[in-house]
Amino acid sequence: MILTLVVFAVAVVLWTCTPLDDTFVALAAVVALLLFGVLPASALAVLGGSTTWLLIAAFVLAGGVSASGLPARLATSLVGRARSVRGLMHLTAFALLLTAFFVPSTSGRAALTLPVHRALRVNARVSRALGVLFPSVILLTAVATLVGAGAHLITSALLEQATGQGIGFGQWMLLGLPLAVVSAHVTAEVVLWLFTTRADRAEALAGQARPLDASDEPTVRFAARSEGPLPGDPCSSSPRQHRQFSKLTRPEITSLAIVGVVSAGWLTESWHHVPPEVTALAGAVAITAPRLGTTTLKAAFADIPWSLLLFMAATTMLGSALVSSGAAHTLATLVSPSHLLPTVIAVSLLAHLLIQSRSARSSVLVPIVIPLAAAAGMNPAALAFASTAAAGFCHTTTASAKPVALFAGAYQPRDLLKLSAVLAPITGALVLACAVLLWPHLGLPLK
């Protein structure tokens, strides 16, 4: 009781005597009461479920991290180390994978990295290949983290409702990260093979990168080694330029530290039992705090895709209705349980041709997959995770996903069909191999 009165009194003082944002003060007070156990995590249901709060906090964190320039610096720094076209492709794939841990939105990651692609000075074929690679890797590596896509949270919520247990942040990363890493680099090789020539792949590059500042757009320049340094740019091996580029700014250090602490909190939830949405809210408060933070709460809220959150909440409710009403079980009886896993993966891979939204695909597929798995004597979580991972493939047309549409000017529509014909079966095979050979050893058995 005393703690509650103290927190309330401090909030009133801050509201009346300081210029701090009223919403920030209220949110900070709520976080304090949640962390000290005065309020249960279920209290957040007043303004939405835990999934909604987790995503709101994750988007605020992403806004602060993006404002610091850290993801752009990270991507540019890695890409700037390339010394060949093949190296450029694989470093790009790795950099895009890392951005999944900073920005909880595939379209947000695409918007963030689009300037990096535009700044790369390579020949037309390699530029087109990179234009295909960027959105492809962004979509396939979202599976690395629970907050990589709204569909993941929907899957976890539906599993929790149907079976009493969802998939937490740590377990999702343990299962999804290996698939994301392999998918990223396999995609890089497929793109190299389909869209570049042997001469392109053998071309040596001299990476030229200039340091980023807060108001600067990331710029990476490449030239053939025989041409020497680009005019007006310091050589990448220059000690001065290396020191400038590698030195992190205070906002970057702050955002990196906060994201690290929040991620550690998510991974160790089983030890401290602080719900992930509470940990995320604490990080959101920290990254928007005056003097300490890298952005303001108002600015971060302005960048939250509220329509996406409402859509995700609505589709989650629809999926829940399918499960609770028995409609999903009725639909499941129409599907033969034999060869269930390959069928689920194949249908999930092709679902983007009919249902363009990733969240909507999971809201339709997962409620059907869960009773199907139960009827076949299989683990519902294993099939639901495999379905969600496979549904991350949506590369066939420009309208299949927002990241693909954002990079539409960098490739031709026929390039997507060419890539999809090769990458779809490879993605399906990778998901199947993980479900059968890897995930059972990581705590997700098929039966």
Q: Which alpha helices (DSSP H) does 196-305 contain, by range?
A: 198-202, 239-246, 250-267, 269-272, 276-287, 297-302
Note the pLDDT of residue 45: 61
Of 153, 196, 155, 74, the C-alpha closest to 382 is 155
CA 195, 108, 243: angle at the middle one, nearest 5?
80
Note the pLDDT of residue 426: 96
What is the distance between the alpha carbons of residues 200 and 148, in angstroms, rounded to a whole number?
A: 33
Quote the pTM value.
0.76
Please write down the HEC assignment for all residues of 288-342.
CCCCCCCCCHHHHHHCCCHHHHHHHHHHHHHHHHHHHHCHHHHHHCCCCCCCHHH
What is the distance between the alpha carbons of residues 57 and 61, in angstroms, rounded to a whole number?
A: 6
Of 97, 96, 89, 91, the C-alpha closest to 125 is 89
CB 338 within 8 A of CB 364: no
- Residues (pLDDT < 70) of the chain are 1, 16, 42-49, 206-246, 312, 314-328, 331-338
Note the pLDDT of residue 173: 92
CB 434 within 8 A of CB 445: no
Note the pLDDT of residue 93: 93
What is the distance between the alpha carbons of residues 244 and 237, in angstroms, rounded to a whole number?
A: 12
